[in-house]
Protein backbone atom coordinates (compact mmCIF):
# COMPACT_ATOMS: atom_id res chain seq x y z
CA UNK A 1 0.00 0.00 0.00
CA UNK A 2 1.23 3.51 -0.82
CA UNK A 3 2.35 5.69 2.05
CA UNK A 4 1.81 9.02 0.31
CA UNK A 5 -1.19 11.33 0.47
CA UNK A 6 -2.78 10.41 -2.86
CA UNK A 7 -4.47 7.01 -2.60
CA UNK A 8 -6.69 6.95 -5.72
CA UNK A 9 -5.01 4.41 -8.02
CA UNK A 10 -6.34 5.87 -11.29
CA UNK A 11 -5.30 9.43 -10.44
CA UNK A 12 -1.93 8.40 -9.03
CA UNK A 13 -1.17 6.36 -12.15
CA UNK A 14 -2.12 9.25 -14.42
CA UNK A 15 0.21 11.63 -12.57
CA UNK A 16 3.04 9.10 -12.76
CA UNK A 17 2.54 8.91 -16.54
CA UNK A 18 2.42 12.67 -17.16
CA UNK A 19 5.25 14.37 -19.00
CA UNK A 20 6.51 17.93 -19.11
CA UNK A 21 3.76 20.26 -20.31
CA UNK A 22 0.89 17.79 -19.98
CA UNK A 23 -2.37 19.30 -18.73
CA UNK A 24 -4.49 18.05 -15.85
CA UNK A 25 -7.73 19.87 -14.96
CA UNK A 26 -9.36 19.70 -11.55
CA UNK A 27 -12.95 20.86 -11.66
CA UNK A 28 -16.04 21.46 -9.64
CA UNK A 29 -19.07 19.19 -9.96
CA UNK A 30 -20.45 21.16 -12.91
CA UNK A 31 -17.41 21.52 -15.19
CA UNK A 32 -18.22 19.82 -18.50
CA UNK A 33 -15.85 17.13 -19.74
CA UNK A 34 -15.18 17.45 -23.47
CA UNK A 35 -15.76 14.37 -25.62
CA UNK A 36 -12.66 12.20 -25.78
CA UNK A 37 -11.08 13.60 -22.60
CA UNK A 38 -10.65 11.11 -19.77
CA UNK A 39 -12.77 11.85 -16.70
CA UNK A 40 -11.68 10.72 -13.26
CA UNK A 41 -14.93 11.20 -11.36
CA UNK A 42 -14.35 11.44 -7.63
CA UNK A 43 -17.68 13.16 -6.82
CA UNK A 44 -19.76 11.34 -4.23
CA UNK A 45 -22.20 14.05 -3.14
CA UNK A 46 -22.32 17.83 -2.92
CA UNK A 47 -19.04 18.94 -1.34
CA UNK A 48 -17.52 15.46 -1.16
CA UNK A 49 -14.71 15.41 -1.92
CA UNK A 50 -14.00 19.10 -1.71
CA UNK A 51 -11.99 20.84 -4.40
CA UNK A 52 -9.03 21.79 -2.18
CA UNK A 53 -8.82 18.31 -0.67
CA UNK A 54 -8.35 16.92 -4.18
CA UNK A 55 -6.02 19.73 -5.29
CA UNK A 56 -3.76 19.27 -2.27
CA UNK A 57 -3.60 15.50 -2.79
CA UNK A 58 -2.69 16.01 -6.47
CA UNK A 59 -0.06 18.61 -5.60
CA UNK A 60 1.55 16.15 -3.20
CA UNK A 61 2.65 14.16 -6.29
CA UNK A 62 2.56 16.53 -9.28
CA UNK A 63 5.23 19.10 -10.12
CA UNK A 64 3.36 22.08 -11.60
CA UNK A 65 5.03 24.52 -13.97
CA UNK A 66 2.07 26.83 -14.56
CA UNK A 67 -1.65 26.98 -13.97
CA UNK A 68 -4.82 28.77 -15.02
CA UNK A 69 -8.08 29.71 -13.32
CA UNK A 70 -11.04 31.76 -14.45
CA UNK A 71 -11.39 35.52 -14.18
CA UNK A 72 -14.94 34.88 -12.95
CA UNK A 73 -13.67 33.05 -9.84
CA UNK A 74 -14.17 34.73 -6.49
CA UNK A 75 -11.03 36.58 -5.24
CA UNK A 76 -11.03 34.40 -2.12
CA UNK A 77 -10.77 31.31 -4.30
CA UNK A 78 -7.88 32.82 -6.26
CA UNK A 79 -6.14 33.70 -2.99
CA UNK A 80 -6.41 30.07 -1.87
CA UNK A 81 -4.93 28.95 -5.22
CA UNK A 82 -2.00 31.35 -4.86
CA UNK A 83 -1.09 29.84 -1.48
CA UNK A 84 -0.13 26.60 -3.23
CA UNK A 85 2.75 25.44 -5.44
CA UNK A 86 1.02 25.95 -8.80
CA UNK A 87 3.62 27.98 -10.73
CA UNK A 88 2.54 31.15 -12.46
CA UNK A 89 -1.25 31.49 -12.32
CA UNK A 90 -2.84 32.75 -15.54
CA UNK A 91 -6.41 34.06 -15.57
CA UNK A 92 -8.70 32.92 -18.40
CA UNK A 93 -12.35 33.44 -19.15
CA UNK A 94 -14.49 30.47 -18.19
CA UNK A 95 -15.06 29.74 -21.88
CA UNK A 96 -11.29 29.80 -22.56
CA UNK A 97 -10.68 27.44 -19.64
CA UNK A 98 -13.24 25.03 -21.08
CA UNK A 99 -11.49 25.30 -24.47
CA UNK A 100 -8.10 24.59 -22.84
CA UNK A 101 -9.56 21.54 -21.10
CA UNK A 102 -10.05 19.91 -24.51
CA UNK A 103 -6.28 19.29 -24.53
CA UNK A 104 -6.15 17.77 -21.04
CA UNK A 105 -4.85 14.29 -20.31
CA UNK A 106 -7.78 14.13 -17.89
CA UNK A 107 -10.32 16.14 -15.95
CA UNK A 108 -10.76 15.27 -12.29
CA UNK A 109 -14.34 15.89 -11.19
CA UNK A 110 -14.81 16.76 -7.51
CA UNK A 111 -17.99 17.17 -5.49
CA UNK A 112 -17.34 20.91 -5.15
CA UNK A 113 -20.35 23.20 -5.52
CA UNK A 114 -18.40 26.50 -5.38
CA UNK A 115 -18.82 28.33 -8.71
CA UNK A 116 -15.69 28.42 -10.90
CA UNK A 117 -13.67 26.14 -8.61
CA UNK A 118 -11.67 24.87 -11.58
CA UNK A 119 -7.95 24.90 -12.29
CA UNK A 120 -5.70 23.86 -15.14
CA UNK A 121 -2.34 22.43 -14.06
CA UNK A 122 0.49 22.02 -16.55
CA UNK A 123 3.12 19.57 -15.34
CA UNK A 124 6.68 20.64 -14.90
CA UNK A 125 9.78 18.57 -14.29
CA UNK A 126 11.16 17.54 -10.92
CA UNK A 127 14.79 18.16 -11.93
Q: What are the binding residues for substrate? A: 28, 94, 116-118
Residue 125 confidence (pLDDT) above 90: yes
Q: What are the binding residues? A: 28, 94, 116-118
The whole-angstrom separation of Cα 67 and Cα 32 is 19
Bridging pattern class, strands 23-27 and 106-109? parallel
Sorted by where each begins, the domain ranges of the chain are 9-123
- Average pLDDT over the chain, rounded to an integer: 96
Q: Which residues are catalytic?
A: 20
For 58, the enclosing helix (H) or strand (E) is helix 51-59
What is the per-residue pLDDT for 3?
Answer: 78
The fourth-level CATH superfamily of domain 9-123 is RbsD-like domain (3.40.1650.10)
- Residues 117 and 73: beta-carbon distance below 8 Å: yes
Read off the pLDDT of residues 71-98 as tens digits, 9 standing for 90 and up: 999 999 999 999 999 999 999 999 999 9
Amino acid sequence: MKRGTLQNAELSGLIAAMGHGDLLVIGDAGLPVPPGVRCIDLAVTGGVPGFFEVLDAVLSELTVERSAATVEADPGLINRFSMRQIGMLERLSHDDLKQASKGARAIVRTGEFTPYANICLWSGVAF
